[in-house]
Chain A
Amino acid sequence: MVWVRYVGGRLLALVLTVLVGSVVVFLVMKAAPGDPAVAALGESARPELVAAFRAKHNLDVPWALQYGRWLSGIARGDFGLSLTVASDRPIAGLIAARLPNTIFIGVMALLIAVILSLIAGTIAALRRGKLADTIATSLAAFGISMPDFWLSYVLILVFALGLGLFPAYGFIAPAQSFTGALYSGFLPALAVSAPLAAVFARTLRTSLLEAGNKDYVVAARSFGFHPAYVFVHWIFRNALIPYITIIGLQIRYILGGVVVIERIFGISGVGSLMVDGAFARDYPVVQACAVVFLVIVLSVNLVVDVVCSLLDPKRAR
Chain B
Amino acid sequence: MAVLLRTLWSNRTARAGVIIVGLFLLAISVGGALMPYSATDMDFLNLLTPPAWTHPFGTDSFGRDVLTRVLLGGRVSLAISVTGVSLAAIIGIPAGLAAAWYGNPIDQLLMRCADLLFAFPSFVLALFLMVVLGFGVTNVILAIALVYVPIFARLARNLALTVREEAYVQAARLMGQSTARILGREILPNIMAPIMVQASISIAFGVIIEAGLSFLGLGVQPPTPSLGVIMADGREYFNQGPWVLTLAGLFISFGLLGLNLLGDGLRDLTDPKLREKTTS
Cβ < 8 Å to A, chain B residues 197-254: 204, 208, 211-212, 215-218, 231, 235, 238-239, 242, 245-246, 249-250, 252-254
A268 to B130, CA, bound (A): 21
A150 touching B253 by the CB < 8 A rule? yes
Q: Which residue of A lies closest to B234 (CB)?
A: A153
B257 touching A153 by the CB < 8 A rule? no
Residues of B within 8 A of A281 (CB): 131
B253 touching A142 by the CB < 8 A rule? yes
B217 touching A146 by the CB < 8 A rule? no
Pick out which of these stretches binds chain B: A16-24, A216-224, A305-313.
A16-24
Residues of B within 8 A of A255 (CB): 121, 123-124
Known contacts A28-B128, A252-B120, A290-B128; is A147 also within 8 Å of B212 by CB? yes
Between A145, A161, A251, A277, the greatest number of chain B beta carbons within 10 A of the residue's beta carbon is seen for A145
Between A149, A150, A251, A263, the greatest number of chain B beta carbons within 10 A of the residue's beta carbon is seen for A150
A283 to B131, CA, bound (A): 8
A260 touching B212 by the CB < 8 A rule? yes
Within the complex, which residue of B120, B212, B242, B250 is in contact with A293, where a contact is CB–CB below 8 Å?
Answer: B120
Pick out which of these stretches binds chain B: A29-37, A69-77, A79-87, A175-183.
A29-37
B260 touching A145 by the CB < 8 A rule? yes
B261 beta carbon closer than 8 Å to chain A: yes
Residues of A within 8 A of B257 (CB): 141-142, 145
A157 touching B246 by the CB < 8 A rule? yes
A41 beta carbon closer than 8 Å to chain B: no
Q: Which residue of A lies closest to B239 (CB)?
A: A161
Between B128, B132, B274, the greatest number of chain A beta carbons within 10 A of the residue's beta carbon is seen for B128
B249 touching A150 by the CB < 8 A rule? yes
Residues of A within 8 A of B119 (CB): 17, 21, 252, 294, 297-298, 301
Q: Which residue of A lies closest to B124 (CB)?
A: A293
Within the complex, which residue of A153, A257, A277, A294 is in contact with B123, where a contact is CB–CB below 8 Å?
Answer: A257
A301 to B115, CA, bound (A): 12
B122 beta carbon closer than 8 Å to chain A: yes
Q: Which residue of B lies closest to A151 (CB)?
A: B249
The range of chain A's interface size is: 35 or more
Q: C-beta contact mask, A277-312 vs B, less than 8 Å → 1, else 0?
A: 111010100100110011001100100000000000
Residues of A within 8 A of B121 (CB): 251-256, 259, 293, 297
Residues of A within 8 A of B130 (CB): 278
A260 to B121, CA, bound (A): 12
A153 touching B246 by the CB < 8 A rule? yes
A77, chain B: closest CB distance, angstroms: 21
Q: Which residue of B lies closest to A209 (CB)?
A: B277
Q: Which residue of B lies closest to A157 (CB)?
A: B242
B249 touching A20 by the CB < 8 A rule? no
Cβ < 8 Å to B, chain A residues 179-225: 206, 209
Residues of B within 8 A of A278 (CB): 127, 130-131, 218
Residues of B within 8 A of A145 (CB): 204, 253-254, 256-257, 259-260
B132 touching A32 by the CB < 8 A rule? yes
Residues of A within 8 A of B238 (CB): 153, 156
A256 touching B122 by the CB < 8 A rule? yes
B134 beta carbon closer than 8 Å to chain A: yes
A275 touching B216 by the CB < 8 A rule? yes
A183 to B249, CA, bound (A): 26
Known contacts A24-B116, A141-B264, A154-B246; is A259 also within 8 Å of B131 by CB? no
A301 to B118, CA, bound (A): 11
A297 to B124, CA, bound (A): 11
A63 to B92, CA, bound (A): 31
A255 to B118, CA, bound (A): 13
A274 touching B127 by the CB < 8 A rule? yes
A119 beta carbon closer than 8 Å to chain B: no
With A31-B132, A259-B127 already in contact, 19 other A-B pairs whose C-beta atoms are closer than 8 Å? A17-B115, A145-B256, A146-B253, A147-B252, A149-B231, A154-B246, A157-B246, A206-B274, A252-B122, A255-B121, A256-B121, A259-B124, A260-B123, A260-B215, A274-B127, A275-B218, A294-B120, A297-B119, A301-B119
Residues of A near any B CB (own CB < 8 A): 17, 20-21, 24-25, 28-29, 31-33, 141-142, 144-147, 149-150, 153-154, 156-157, 161, 206, 209, 251-257, 259-260, 263, 274-275, 277-279, 281, 283, 286, 289-290, 293-294, 297-298, 301
